[in-house]
Amino acid sequence: MTIPSRQPLPLADAVQPGLRRQMMAVARRDLRRELRRGEVAWVTIPFGAVAVLAIPLAIGIDVPTLNRVGPGLYWVVVLLFGVLVTVRHTATEQGVAAVSARLGIDPAAAYLGAATASAVLLVVFEVAVGMIAVALYDIDPERWPWLLLVVPAVAVGLALLGTMAGSVAAGATATNLVPFLVVPLALPLLIGATAAFDAGLTQPGGILRWVLMLLLVDVAALVLGVLTARQLQETG
Answer yes or no whether residue 223 interacts with other proteins by CB under 8 A.
no
Residues in region 162-181 near other proteins by CB under 8 A: 164-165, 168-174, 177, 180-181
Contact string (CB under 8 A) for other proteins, positions 108-147, x = contact? ----------------------------------------
Among candidate residues 48, 81, 52, the one with its CA nearest the CA of residue 183: 81
Answer yes or no whether residue 91 interacts with other proteins by CB under 8 A.
no
Q: Which residues make Cβ contacts (< 8 Å) with residue 235, sequence separation at least 6?
A: 5, 6, 94, 97, 98, 101
- Applying CB under 8 A, the site for other proteins has a residue count of 24
Smallest distance, Å, CB 232 to other proteins? 6
Q: Pick left, alpha or beta for residue 212 (phi over 0 → left; psi -120 to 50 → alpha; otherwise beta).
A: alpha
DSSP 173: S
Q: Report the residue from 3, 187, 212, 219 that binds other proteins according to the rule CB under 8 A.
A: 187
Report the residue number, 5 or 235, with the smaller CB distance to other proteins: 235
Alpha helices in the chain (DSSP H): 10-14, 19-37, 39, 45-59, 63-86, 93-102, 107-137, 147-168, 177-202, 207-233
Question: Where does this chain bind other proteins (CB under 8 A)?
Answer: 164-165, 168-174, 177, 180-181, 184-185, 187-188, 220, 224, 228, 231-232, 234-236
